Structure 1
């Protein structure tokens, strides 16, 4: 069972998230919070696998809350809107594990929680689209042309799917390969491209135009 913490300062959205995710057979809502400070308190008081945090919250914003919560152990998904570019950039730099738009479909939200709980990172296609220009000129050095040229055809296909925001299960279905094979390719991509996580791979794919 995946134990999650939900935090959002909008009561209706928080209630909707609790209803959607709490209805899943393999997910239980261990705690909810109305601001970032309360989210940190709940993360300390409960055993949490994944925290789903609004990127903008009072008292303590979502990014600051995410930093502390990740230090405690749980993985973090940020909920964003289309006007959160600067905050998304900061969250990427801090190494959060996923980004979803607030209007994500219920199955997408649940799938993202499962993926992040399983060690993956999730970058919603709508988020990557909004930060494309920043990614091209963003912080850090892009993967070298030599490193990209050293990828196998299958690795480039997997990288392209990651750049589109696909999870391992979705990549496996799209490429007609086993999910365990996808995980092997992802591990190889991380090593070959010097990326710290899946989000970094998605940004590399976007910057290189591989996912377009």
Structure 2
């Protein structure tokens, strides 16, 4: 509903105005175009939202990590490690398009497969010391935002944002926990609903 309203009323220059005023989608229903833009918006927003809360909470709990990230070399690899460790994307589901087997488990066409990104990010067969935050970890093939052609469309934006966020935390007064955090009930994302903070 929000996206339909944006398409109907937005007059500012940008992607929505271009799609509305210069449609290159002959034969494609408006619903498909609006749903695609909605998915892009949601992915970008929800990825930022989930990663921001988890990373800020961890840095408040571990101020030594925030201090170590002043080192540009550690910052370059550390953001990926923070994403691996906090796992903003917990998992998703896919439908098997043909009969196959994964890890010896058979699946038939049409079976729903649940992929657990957060568990994969702690896989000892893939990561040395998976339960530790290793800021210089490289390579770091984490699944914090998915992987390959189906990686979250907000992944790059979230990564750039986390670099900027940490830089701002370095310049701001120290934040400390001021109460118990509360997590949202979600099957796919690890979102903080409440993160009480205070200035130290």
Instruction: Sort the TM-score into its range (normalised by shorter chain).
Output: under 0.3
More helix by share: 1
Specify the structure having the higher radius of gyration (Cα).
2
